Structure 1
């Protein structure tokens, strides 16, 4: 129903809440802008959960079809990104059940480190590329759930409560899983110890 890319119809980038409210009023331009803005990051996240391009694309299409269909009944969204991530995860889960598939993070497909992700917090200059490659390699060694929590927390900047709602687990489970992931990385990737030690301190 939708192309992978939709030409942006607004000349200025509008904040998510404004687009969301406009969508609730039936604004097609706001709908198209939200789709354009979130398609790629939703696809990347969905593909990490289940590496099936067709299924992930179907889930995203279904999600936006639902948004348009129930536009007038949409609740206020404090975070549009959170709403979309949580909804997509649920749709992928339902679709995967129909296909007798299981949600699991595809470690080989983790595009964690891009120009817009927080790897710049870990290093700078000539050492950046080497360190980010090492980090990506270390993340591949994590169990699926730990990988997903790390992704949502540090690369998508969701709060603990939001991660819990997205994944359908408790806040405590999120904190414990994240702590285990950081501990695992610190023990098995000693070159990251200075940075992970700080993160563990903040999580304690």
Structure 2
């Protein structure tokens, strides 16, 4: 069941409860890939989901609520990490997402050597490339939505994704179509 933004907008607590559970899981999976402090991620999720309920009447004006709340979550998490870094609560913390290679291990039956090769290849990508792959293949966002979340143009998102995929193809030595298959299997 998808999120009923209209239901939330009119104050349907069941719709909000469903959205809360669904968004909490999605934001948590995304947030712990950006920062290692799960308690911090949970705090920011609570903040964003409370904002959703408090500002529910304005949902109609938002063209893409999924993408909008991802952007809010990412920005809030970034601000919180920056604030904590200033107070030295997180030693040397900065908002530079690094997705661990083990998170991206292929879950389907494939040969172990290919799994290791793909994981190693993903690990060589920049944090930004890894984040774009995560948003595109795990969360299923379109290029436009990914661009919005990352705060870059759609054209830059296409370039970022193309470079990432070509790098993976060259490092894993399999056709690009197979890389797509492996990534989809890897992130679902």
Class of the TM-score when normalised by the shorter of the 2 chains: 0.7 to 0.9
User: Please, what TM-score do these two structures have when normalized by structure 2?
Assistant: 0.79
Runs of 4 or more consecutive aligned structure 1 residues displaced over 6 Å after TM superposition: none
Partner of 2:8: 23
Q: 2:176 aligns with which of 190, 195, 199?
A: 195
Matches within 5 A, 1:52-63: 52-63=37-48
Q: Please say if 1:140 is aligned against 2:132.
A: no
So what's the TM-score if we normalise by structure 1? Answer: 0.73
Q: Structure 2: any 5+ residue segments left out of the alignment?
A: 86-92, 181-188
Residue aligning to 1:167: 150
Instruction: Provide the secondary structure at the position in 1 that maps to 2:60.
Output: coil
C-alpha displacement of 1:112: 3.4
Q: Do the aligned partners of 1:185 and 1:196 also contact (CA within 8 Å) in 2?
A: no
Q: Structure 1 unaligned segments of length 5 or more: list them.
A: 1-12, 121-125, 200-204
**TM-aligned CA deviation for residue 134 of structure 1:** 3.8
Aligned Cα RMSD in Å? 2.5
1:102: which partner in 2? 94
Whether the 8 Å contact between 1:48 and 1:104 is mirrored in structure 2 is no
Instruction: Report if the CA contact (8 A) 2:169-2:179 is conserved.
Output: no
Partner of residue 8, structure 1: none
CA offsets per residue over residues 176-198 of structure 1, 9 Å max, x none? Answer: 211221122122222xx213588
Count of residues in correspondence between the two structures: 173
